[in-house]
Amino acid sequence: MSYITAGKENSGTIDLYYEDHGTGKPVVLIHGWPLSSISWEKQVPVLLDAGYRVVAYDRRGFGNSAKPTFGYDYDTLAEDLHKLMTELDLADATLVGFSMGGGEVARYLGTYGSERVDKAVFISAVPPFLLKTADNPEGVDGSVFDGIMESIAADRPAFLSEFLSNFYNVDVLGGDRVSDEAVRLSWNVAAAASPVGTLDCVPAWLTDFRNDLASIDVPVLVIHGDADRIVPFPASGKRTPELVRDSRLAVVEGGPHGITWTHADSVNRELLDFLGQRVQAAQPFAANPT
Check whether 88 has a pLDDT greater than 80.
yes
- What distance in Å separates the CA atoms of residue 131 and residue 63, rounded to the nearest whole number? 27
pLDDT in tens, 208-261: 999 999 999 999 999 999 999 999 999 999 999 999 999 999 999 999 999 999
- HSE-up of 110 (CA within 13 Å, CB side)? 22
- What distance in Å separates the CA atoms of residue 138 and residue 125, rounded to the nearest whole number? 15
Higher-pLDDT residue of 277, 127: 127
Q: The pTM is what? A: 0.94
- Domains recognised in the chain with CATH numbers: 2-289 (3.40.50.1820)
Q: What single string gives the DSSP state of each residue in the chain?
A: -EEEEEEEETTEEEEEEEEEE-SSSEEEEE--TT--GGGGTTTHHHHHHTT-EEEEEPPTTSTTS---SS--SHHHHHHHHHHHHHHTT--SEEEEEETTHHHHHHHHHHHH-STTEEEEEEES---S--B-BTTBTTSB-HHHHHHHHHHHHHHHHHHHHHHHHHHTTHHHHBTTTB-HHHHHHHHHHHHTS-HHHHHHHHHHTT---HHHHHT--S-EEEEEETT-SSS-GGGTTTTHHHH-SSEEEEEETT--TTHHHHTHHHHHHHHHHHHT-----SS---EEE-
- pLDDT at 1 (0 to 100): 84
Which residues are annotated as catalytic? Answer: 99, 228, 257
- What distance in Å separates the CA atoms of residue 195 and residue 261, rounded to the nearest whole number? 25
The pLDDT confidence band at residue 283, using thresholds 50, 70 and 90, is: very low
Segment 108-113 mean pLDDT: 98
Share of the chain above pLDDT 70, in %: 95
CA triplet 105, 270, 48: central angle to 5 degrees? 80
Check whether 286 has a pLDDT greater than 80.
no
| Nearest of 58, 120, 56 to residue 94 by alpha carbon | 120
- pLDDT at 284 (0 to 100): 36
